Structure 1
């Protein structure tokens, strides 16, 4: 009986989250509130999880780059207990609180946040990048390493050369873009978050691709940092 109660509770939470996502759709801004010429500081965001006994924890890491020089300006991280269950399509509600806590630690202004995940490429256009962009009132981009398969979409004809892309079109609407950042490597999946359009988002992502990886340096080093923070925490918990 207890397991059934958990299922019912999660279904109720899912319905509340989806309703909130639908309410927020009218606040999505797809016009550019930042231009490549005026862009200064770009932040990469990623989270990592672990369990300790019967509790789940996460760390959020933010790495801020100078867009012109691609130098690291600042790094911040936070750790916290995760109390929101994982619900497919509702990841933003699980991750936003810790992200916001980490963003508040930043000492430099951030013009644009780049998330390891989706934004508009979501069944209700409300991935973490979009949700966070609305909550913060900041331009955001979602950059995912794998395709969120809420629909069937064939991108096998994507050309192998660097810079090629295929738009992900669903019901006549562009949800995101499959983008090849280096010749012959796996593509990434770019979607707008908020306050930006897909063309500008793609240019910014491509400008922040290093030689050593097919993902932007922003989210790559945020990801590396999360593994370091998690490793240190796990060592301390032993």
Structure 2
């Protein structure tokens, strides 16, 4: 059964991947709002439940403009490499609740840095019709390709190159702190991804503010919901 599901998922990913563009579809001077997206899961009455949180941040002031969340049952099983099919329905529905319209969306997960170049950030771009960025806390190894650790200084990076193409970048956002793994989602280039990510780093975390805030909110909401259910 799983093979049949993944065959269908493979076809969808392949078809969408033909339309990925690793170039900017916008002017960096016009960026005002950037959203961060994350999900948290738990089990409830033998069902998998998740809460999606989206935080919209002012790119210039770094202020949090809006935070929205939505809870729902997750019906697609976890299959490595196909996370987007599991998470996208809830993400899309949560986006519908936003009052503000961000120009760019950051995801706690990968984008082009994926075996089929279709991580959650890339896949979501086609449904949200927005440039997207993948921000991962750990490296999802692709084939036999390892990453090279960047030097220990803020802003240092090394590229993850597979078959002659830059899939992603290992970026050090703070000295003496573990790097993060960034990648284009869609309609953006890797240098702009790097610039935007670094511009949204503060002293509180190695993660950019929108993703960090979304991560904190999902943990807070999961704790609230699980406590309430008990």
Q: TM-score range by the shorter chain?
A: over 0.9
- Specify every segment of 5 or more residues in structure 2 that has no aligned partner in the other structure, as ranges: none
SS in 2 for 1:184: coil
Superposed CA deviations along residues 107-127 of structure 1, whole A, max 9, x for unmatched, are 111100000000000011100
CA separation in 2, counterparts of 1:104 and 1:222?
16
- Higher mean alpha-carbon deviation, 15-24 vs 29-38, is at 29-38
Instruction: Give the C-alpha shift of residue 12 in structure 1.
Output: 1.2
SS in 1 for 2:28: coil
SS in 1 for 2:18: helix
TM-score w.r.t. length of structure 2: 0.97
1:148 to 140, 155, 161: 140
2:46 to 45, 51, 54: 54
Q: How many residues are matched?
A: 230
2:34 to 34, 37, 42: 42
Say if 2:77 is the partner of 1:85.
Answer: yes
Say if 2:167 is the partner of 1:175.
Answer: yes
CA separation in 2, counterparts of 1:105 and 1:94?
20
Question: In the alignment, which residue of structure 2 is the partner of 1:194?
Answer: 186
Instruction: Give the C-alpha shift of residue 53 in structure 1.
Output: 2.7
Question: In the alignment, which residue of structure 1 is the partner of 2:195?
Answer: 203
SS in 2 for 1:141: strand
Superposed CA deviations along residues 106-153 of structure 1, whole A, max 9, x for unmatched, are 011110000000000001110000001112110100000000113333
Contact 1:35–1:200, Cα closer than 8 Å, also in 2: no
1:227 to 176, 196, 219: 219
CA separation in 1, counterparts of 2:80 and 2:146?
22
Say if 2:114 is the partner of 1:109.
Answer: no
CA separation in 2, counterparts of 1:121 and 1:75?
27
CA distance change for structure 1 residues 120 and 204 in 2, over 3 Å: closer, same or farther? same
Instruction: Give the C-alpha shift of residue 157 in structure 1.
Output: 4.2
- Higher mean alpha-carbon deviation, 99-108 vs 9-18, is at 9-18
Question: In the alignment, which residue of structure 2 is the partner of 1:237?
Answer: 229
CA distance change for structure 1 residues 168 and 218 in 2, over 3 Å: closer, same or farther? same
Q: Cα RMSD between the aligned structures?
A: 1.0
Question: In the alignment, which residue of structure 1 is the partner of 2:120?
Answer: 128
Question: In the alignment, which residue of structure 1 is the partner of 2:154?
Answer: 162
Instruction: Give the C-alpha shift of residue 101 in structure 1.
Output: 0.4
TM-score w.r.t. length of structure 1: 0.94
Instruction: Give the C-alpha shift of residue 31 in structure 1.
Output: 1.6
Contact 2:68–2:97, Cα closer than 8 Å, also in 1: yes
